[in-house]
Structure 1
Amino acid sequence: MNDVVPEPSPEVPVEPDHDPAAPAPLQVPRTPTGNAEVDAGLERLGDADHLATDGHIEVYEDVHRGLRDALTALDVRPGPPAPSPSYDQRAPSPSYGTRS
């Protein structure tokens, strides 16, 4: 009987076609809102797709700041005039059925 053990073949390291740690687009659809400032912020989020994870915070903070500014600007813009106080003044209801 022959007790020859075959020698293990040298393993060739297999390099992955794609590096899972590399930045990759999330492919999240961004639907336009019709508000230019908000839409610009949504587009800015796409910049995070090409950055390593540690670079995302800068993009997110920038977008958050822009959205906060857009919301603050809504409070500053003049809206329609408020109705005059005499518009909805109603006479007090008579107290029917009340005992004195």
Structure 2
Amino acid sequence: MNDSDSVPRAGTDGEADAPAGPVAYDPAAPAPLHVARTPTGNADVDARLERLADADHLATDGHPEVYEDVHRGLRDALTALDARPGPPVPTRHPTTAPR
């Protein structure tokens, strides 16, 4: 027996490291879908679409909360677009007959 057999190495608890075995596959575990999200150019919409990535780390029963939050945010962003003043609506000259 030599000294290295009786003295634990620094940083270990004296037990041999467990051999690295195969990682068990759990089909119920959250897994990223890796769905590509193309930026729209609208910061509010893009932020909501990025929020969808949060569902990748949740169990399925946590997805509705994320989806509902994203849906609510997208609806709010669309409503805000409708509320912005747009270009003036062209008016007909009073003497012009409708076609």
2:67 paired with 1:63: no
Partner secondary structure for residue 93 of structure 2: helix
Which protein shows a greater Rg?
Answer: 1
Query: Equivalences for 1:67-78 in 2 at 5 Å?
Result: 67-78=74-85
Count of aligned residue pairs for this structure pair? 78
Please, what TM-score do these two structures have when normalized by structure 2? 0.70
The 5 A counterparts of 1:39-58 are 39-58=46-65
Amino acid at match of 1:78: P
Q: Please list every run of at least 4 consecutive aligned residues from structure 1 whose deviation after the TM superposition is greater than 4 angstroms.
A: none
Q: Does 1:36 align with 2:39?
A: no
Q: What is the CA RMSD across the aligned residues, in angstroms?
A: 2.2
Structure 2 runs not aligned, ≥5 long: 1-21
The one-letter amino acid paired with 2:63 is H
Cα shift readout 1:19-77 (whole Å, capped 9, x = no counterpart): 11100000111110101111001100000000000000000000000000011111110
- TM score, norm. by length of structure 1: 0.70
Question: What SS does the corresponding residue of 1:24 show, helix, strand or coil?
Answer: coil
Once the two structures are superposed, residues 5-25 of structure 1 have per-residue CA deviations (whole angstroms, 9 ceiling, x without a partner) of xxxxxxxxxx86321110000
2:73, 2:44 → 1: CA distance? Answer: 7
Which residue matches 2:29?
22
Q: CA deviation at 1:89?
A: 2.2
Secondary structure of 1:71's partner?
Answer: helix
Alpha-carbon distance between aligned partners in 2 of 1:84 and 1:66, rounded to the nearest angstrom: 35
2:95 & 2:63 partners in 1: Cα distance? Answer: 52
